[in-house]
Amino acid sequence: MADKPVRADKADAVGELKDKFLNSSATVLTEYRGLKVSQLTQLRRSLGRETTYAVAKNTLAKRAAVEAGLEGLDELFTGPTALAFVGGDAVEAAKGLRDFAKAHPLLVIKGGVFEGKAISAAEVQKLADLESREVLLAKLAGAMKANLSKAAAVFQAPLSKMARTAAALQDKKAAGAEAPVEASAEA
């Protein structure tokens, strides 16, 4: 009977991990061997409020990933594993992990999950190299504004050309009407 509460606890842990896998925009698997508790606390703080960083047993995390329908992660569940479940911007979380790993080489990024698919450590690095969502949206808005300005100039060009042509014709007509008057005055 002593085994039943343990199994219930394990089932609860698997269920909780499965929910985190399913409800996260991305998950990054890391190895934290050799890092101090204070460094892990610093990492958790640097990742922000929308990312949770938790140590998990490989067998439970692997089972949760399978139950969540994620494939291709089995080889990543070796050694001491911690999972960063990203609730917000995956790029910002990947940047935070990359920067922390640069400062603390004992943190090793193994790979992860992005948009429901397994990704390698190199792909997590590429994700970290992207600009944040806000920066990309700002660039898109700037490009759209510039294109709208160009479109407005293109649409205005025929109107202003027509106005200049009409003014030139009017000037020519006025000059033509004045020329005979001057000629008759001389004669």
pLDDT digits (tens, 9 = 90+) for 110-153: 999 998 888 898 898 888 887 766 676 777 777 777 666 666 66
CATH code of the domain occupying 3-130 = 3.30.70.1730
pLDDT at 90: 86
pLDDT tens across the length of the chain (187 residues): 444 555 888 888 888 998 999 889 899 999 988 889 999 999 998 888 889 998 999 999 999 999 999 888 888 898 899 999 998 888 888 989 999 999 999 999 999 999 888 889 889 888 888 776 667 677 777 777 766 666 666 676 677 777 788 788 888 888 776 655 555 445 4
Residue with tokens 């594993």: 81
